[in-house]
Chain A
Amino acid sequence: MVPLSWYLIFSAALFSIGLFGMLARRNAVAILLGSELMLNAVNVNLAAFWRYGDVTDIAGQVFAIIVFAVAAAEVSVGLALVISVYRKRNTVIADEIDLLKF
């Protein structure tokens, strides 16, 4: 008998923690870790709404699957960019990558 509010508050908390991770970290890879937490919070939210609404309307799960695919695509391209930047600039600290050239 878990009320819907518990799931929604959990996902709001996870989203806020992910946001803190994105805003407060220096390393570019750690910033992407924060974005992963946010995407997971969204997925939990979608699945909770699917379950607590009309179970035969499968739109919630479909949306969650599309979010999986988008998250995978974003992480792979993001990390490829970070690795490529590391090869050029020899750093992944976000503050030090502040020149478009040189």
Chain B
Amino acid sequence: MTGEQIIFLLVAVSTLVFALRVVTTGNLVHAALWLIATLAGVAALFALLDAGFLAVVQVVVYIGAIAILFIFAVMLTRKEMRDRGPQMNPNWRFGALLSLVMFGGLYLLLQGWTGMEKTVSDIPSGFDAVSVLGDALTSPNGYVLPFEVASVLLVAALVGAVYVAFNRK
């Protein structure tokens, strides 16, 4: 058990535990806070995968904006500060069965693939993922078109969200 494996196991298992707390806790604000812990765990995994830019963007975008948006939404859609009633569907057992089937199916699918036991190759020295990423996102031979389309999508989402949630007196 190398150190890397121990660290990965710690981070991955704790992230999965936090994710389970997200979907099972009765108090919605607590669910949002457990989501923040999950997102931080995923950011740690990005850092383990040497995707430093993705890790920092995950913290900025997910934890710094989306999670706070969730907390605001939870607080704005209730009459009192506490949650009432059960938080689970009447069909939650069927949902649990379905998700177990999904996980089992994915696991079986992955077992049949030969590339599963790949180990990581070293990053070539002097390779700066951030500058390569920047080049890829802005070069016409690269991915500038999906980048621009994503920008248009964000503008559309911005205008749409403001219009839908606007409180006309």
Direct contact of A and B (CB under 8 A): yes
Binding site for B on A (CB under 8 A): 1-10, 12-21, 23-27, 29-30, 32-34, 36-37, 40, 43-44, 47-48, 50-52, 55-56, 58-59, 61-62, 64-66, 68-77, 79-84, 86-87, 90, 92-93, 95
B12, B78, B87: most-surrounded residue (chain A CB, <10 A): B12
Known: A15-B102, A36-B66. A20 touches B95 (CB 8 A): yes
Cross-chain contact A40 with B39 (CB below 8 angstroms): yes
Partner of A29, one of B46, B70, B117, B123: B70
Q: How far is the CA of A6 from the CA of B15 in the complex (A)?
A: 14
Known: A24-B88, A36-B66. A58 touches B133 (CB 8 A): yes
Known: A12-B103, A14-B15. A43 touches B42 (CB 8 A): yes
Q: How large is the interface on B (under 10, 10 to 19, 20 to 34, 35 or more residues)?
A: 35 or more
Cross-chain contact A56 with B35 (CB below 8 angstroms): no
- How many residue pairs link A and B with beta carbons under 8 A? The number is 247
**List of B residues within 8 angstroms of A70 by Cβ:** 150, 153
Cross-chain contact A13 with B16 (CB below 8 angstroms): yes
**List of B residues within 8 angstroms of A36 by Cβ:** 35, 39, 62, 66, 70
Partner of B88, one of A9, A25, A34: A25
**List of A residues within 8 angstroms of B78 by Cβ:** 92
Binding site for A on B (CB under 8 A): 2, 4-5, 8, 12, 15-16, 19-20, 22-23, 28, 31-32, 35, 38-39, 42, 45-46, 48-51, 53-54, 57-58, 61-62, 65-66, 69-70, 73-74, 76-79, 85-89, 91-92, 94-96, 98-100, 102-103, 106-107, 110, 115-121, 123-124, 127, 129, 132-133, 136-137, 142-143, 146-147, 150-151, 153-154, 156-158, 160-162, 164-165, 167
Q: How far is the CA of A24 from the CA of B89 in the complex (A)?
A: 5
Cross-chain contact A16 with B66 (CB below 8 angstroms): no
Q: How far is the CA of A79 from the CA of B120 in the complex (A)?
A: 39
Partner of B157, one of A14, A23, A77, A93: A77
Q: How far is the CA of A47 from the CA of B136 in the complex (A)?
A: 16
> Which chain A residue shows the least CB distance to B143?
A62
Partner of B150, one of A18, A27, A66, A95: A66
